[in-house]
Amino acid sequence: MTLGEKIKEVRKQAGLSQEDLSKKLGISRSAVAKWECDKGIPDIDNLKMLSQLLDVSIDYLLDNGETPDKAVIKEPIDLSKYGKGSRRAKKDRIIREKYPEAIIHPLLAKTKLTKGEAALDWGIVLATDAPAGIPGLIHSFQDSGNRYYMVEQGEKQLLVLITDEFMVSREPAQKQHSDKFEIGNIKFTKCSYEVK
């Protein structure tokens, strides 16, 4: 599969039109169309942004044999319909209602810093004796309300993200067997408890 075919495939899986993708990247729709027809190639900055927006690795786009996630389902949610309690408790109730028979592991998620962010982060820590630098702190706040779960139903495995507005369920391209794993630019660690 060519780079253009891969961009088109994962763009469609993400539910984006060429126009949607072009707006998110800050480029023209015709540039996206050229990439998808293999009449042009994205520069490295656009490859990085494509990777992040479409949740696939740059290696996959440039062809190292990976396959993208098999299915992605995005559903709107209304937290107010899930009773009282913390957002975390409500999200736990949502995931249990959606997958009542599954084994559900909450996940800790940490976005990997780019090399530049890591260098800046380390420099700030050394200069200020702070426990974490600004880039690390920013990444930790970006996902602060989001909850990730690993759902296991027999042989099927789903990675689920629940925000305050929607739930995204996807079947990873490769089954995750360990308690720590990486998908895209996110490191996941299974929590020691299951959602009851």
Q: Are residues 21 and 88 in the same domain?
A: no
Residue 4 to residue 39: CA distance in whole angstroms = 8
> What pLDDT is attached to residue 115?
57
Q: Are residues 83 and 39 in the same domain?
A: no
Provide mean pLDDT across the span 119-125: 45
- The whole domain housing 19 covers 3-62
Domain count, the chain: 2
Q: Are residues 127 and 86 in the same domain?
A: yes
Q: Are residues 40 and 85 in the same domain?
A: no
Residue 168 in any domain: the answer is yes
Given a cut of 50, whether residue 132 has pLDDT beyond it is no
> What is the band of 137 on the pLDDT scale with cuts at 50, 70, 90?
very low
Q: Are residues 53 and 100 in the same domain?
A: no
Q: Are residues 58 and 84 in the same domain?
A: no
Q: Are residues 140 and 176 in the same domain?
A: yes
Q: Are residues 140 and 168 in the same domain?
A: yes
Instruction: Round to the nearest angstrom and report the end-to-end CA distance of the chain.
Output: 42
> What is the band of 125 on the pLDDT scale with cuts at 50, 70, 90?
very low
State pTM to two decimals: 0.54
pLDDT tens-digit readout, 11-67: 888 888 999 999 988 999 999 999 898 888 888 888 888 888 888 877 777 764 545
Residue that terminates a domain, selected from 62, 80, 104: 62
